[in-house]
Amino acid sequence: MKRTPQSIRFLINRYCSSSIVTLSIFSILVLLTIIISLRHPSVVSQSSLSSTKASTFLSDNEESLPELPRLAYLISGTKGDVGSLKRLLLAVYHPRNYYVLHLDNDALDSERLELAKYAKSEKVLREFRNVMVIGKANLVTEKGPTMIASTLHGIAILLKQAKWWDWFINLSASDYPLMPQDDILHIFSYLPRDLNFLEHTSNIGWKEFQRAKPIIIDPGLYHSKKSGVFWAKEKRSAPASFKLFTGSSWVVLTRPFLEFCIWGWDNLPRTLLMYYTNFVSSTEGYFHSVVCNHKDYQNTTVNHDLHYIRWDNPPKQHPMNLTIDHFNDMVHSGAPFARKFAKDDPVLDKIDKEVLRRSGNHFTPGGWCRGSHLDKDPCKVYGSPDAVVPTPNSKRLENLMMKLLESENFRSRQCK
């Protein structure tokens, strides 16, 4: 899967002459190294291997590979989702990353306890100590601001408890990965670390009248028992001091941007948080409006949520459940994640077997797993978390990134 030097020079010239003025020339050139990132499935990305170890993986004429990122996940569920959360954790787990698991207030205390015991008793999780379970559950109302409050709570825990990480990713129990973490870490290592991935638009259309102008009150903000939101009779006008943006609830956001949202030295994140307290489905607009209304971040957006999602026509409130009929489309989309899946749907087994190479209640294999590939669980023997072995699936993510970051797609779709 090599590229010729001629094609590399062609792409460098094209990118350097493009209108992507917000990225430094260095960042653009780093980005372009994606095109040479895949030489063979056995190529290893690494960040802190010794020169002796590195020589095992790199030929004499290859340059050092870029530093691997760390990802921080918030994985959320509700009553009856313990099994799905465990399965999802095993599928997306990597020792380099951090994970916060949250079962909302609808779940039983026994379910939270089961999840916490699992995180402490599983050998690998106990060794790397990178999985946290929220013990005091948040009450989450589907259409209310308690959902964004729960997300911000998870982010705050990751900022406080986890060492440095680069991107935050939120997933639910109905999500599932479409490639191993090694592939994601490998491709993301070539990206500028200031890119925020979120689907967004200022063309809010019908949402202006059905979500922005209505005023709601979420009882979950002051009651301990879940109930639906209350609708006020009065309407409000569209804001004049900032512009509303809307999009997908699923995001991949940078740590510096989220530090701004949590610890913000500017009042914008708090102003928008107060506004979205009375907004229907605030997770579909809060981060989008913050990032697009601030000059330091509005040019860092990539207009994609990195999920494969299928909607009915016309769209309903929730996307359709993905099945085996969608397998080829979702895998070839290049998206690293997909949603939504019914619990234990057969398509999950197919993804495990044919894409993740994961079997039973075991981790998705990666470069950190030192056991034989013939073992059912090659991760029962593990080594350095800095050894990453990309699979051919990473080529699909590479192609998606190249498409998203082409000048005609990237700049023209930022906060418009």
51-63 per-position pLDDT tens digit: 223 222 233 334 5
Residues, the chain: 416
Q: Alpha-carbon distance 406 to 300, whole Å?
A: 14
Instruction: Answer yes or no: is 84 within a domain.
Output: yes
pLDDT score recorded for residue 24: 38
Q: Which amino acid is at 111?
A: E
Instruction: Answer yes or no: is 207 within a domain.
Output: yes
Q: Are 183 and 336 in contact (CB under 8 A)?
A: yes
- pLDDT category at 185 given cuts 50, 70, 90 is very high
Query: Over pLDDT 90: what percentage of the chain?
Result: 64
Q: Are 155 and 317 in contact (CB under 8 A)?
A: no
DSSP 8-state symbol, 295: T
Contacts of 253 (CB under 8 A, 6+ apart): 167, 168, 196, 197, 198, 287, 291
DSSP, collapsed to helix, strand or coil, labels residue 23 as coil
Instruction: Answer yes or no: is 284 within a domain.
Output: yes
Question: Is 70 exceeded by the pLDDT of residue 70?
Answer: yes
φ/ψ (deg, to 5) at 369? -85, 125
Q: Alpha-carbon distance 331 to 256, whole Å?
A: 31
Average pLDDT over residues 127-143: 92
Domain that holds residue 353: 1-47+66-416
Phi-psi region of 56 (alpha: psi -120 to 50; beta: other; left: phi over 0): alpha
Average model confidence (pLDDT) for the chain? Answer: 83
Instruction: Answer yes or no: is 34 within a domain.
Output: yes
Question: Is 50 exceeded by the pLDDT of residue 71?
Answer: yes
pLDDT score recorded for residue 52: 27
Tens of pLDDT, residue by residue over 313-359, are 777 778 899 999 999 999 999 999 999 999 999 999 999 999 999 99
Instruction: Answer yes or no: is 169 within a domain.
Output: yes
Instruction: Answer yes or no: is 56 within a domain.
Output: no
- pLDDT category at 222 given cuts 50, 70, 90 is confident
How far is Cα of residue 393 from the mean position of the Cα atoms in its chain?
17
pLDDT score recorded for residue 291: 97
Q: Are 338 and 307 in contact (CB under 8 A)?
A: yes
Tens of pLDDT, residue by residue over 147-172, are 999 999 999 999 999 989 999 999 99
pLDDT score recorded for residue 173: 97
Q: Alpha-carbon distance 193 to 182, whole Å?
A: 17
Instruction: Answer yes or no: is 58 within a domain.
Output: no
Q: Which amino acid is at 265?
A: W
- pLDDT category at 94 given cuts 50, 70, 90 is very high
Of the candidates 300, 196, 188, which has an alpha carbon nearest to the alpha carbon of residue 248?
A: 196
Considering only residues 391 and 46, tell me which one the structure prediction assigns the higher pLDDT: 391
Q: Alpha-carbon distance 304 to 195, whole Å?
A: 11
In the sheet that 252-254 helps form, which strands lie side by side, from edge to edge? 131-133, 98-103, 71-77, 167-172, 252-254, 196-197, 301-302
Q: What angle do CA 27, 30, 31 make, to 5 degrees?
A: 85
pLDDT score recorded for residue 391: 94
Of the candidates 90, 88, 168, 180, which has an alpha carbon nearest to the alpha carbon of residue 367?
A: 180
Q: Is the four-CA dihedral 334, 336, 340, 346 of positive or negative sign? A: positive
pLDDT score recorded for residue 375: 77
Considering only residues 315 and 136, tell me which one the structure prediction assigns the higher pLDDT: 136
Q: Alpha-carbon distance 242 to 294, whole Å?
A: 9
- Give the count of domains, the chain: 1
pLDDT score recorded for residue 228: 73
Question: Is 90 exceeded by the pLDDT of residue 310?
Answer: yes
For residue 235, what is the enclosing H or E element? strand 230-235
Q: What is the pTM of this model?
A: 0.85
Question: Is 60 exceeded by the pLDDT of residue 178?
Answer: yes
Contacts of 90 (CB under 8 A, 6+ apart): 358, 361, 362, 363, 364
Instruction: Answer yes or no: is 60 within a domain.
Output: no
The half-sphere exposure of 367 on its side-chain side, counting CA atoms within 13 A, is 25
- String of DSSP letters for 54-75: HHHHS-TTPPPPPPPP-EEEEE
In the sheet that 307-308 helps form, which strands lie side by side, from edge to edge? 175-177, 337-339, 307-308
Question: Is 70 exceeded by the pLDDT of residue 272?
Answer: yes
List beta partners, residue 406. none
- pLDDT category at 8 given cuts 50, 70, 90 is very low
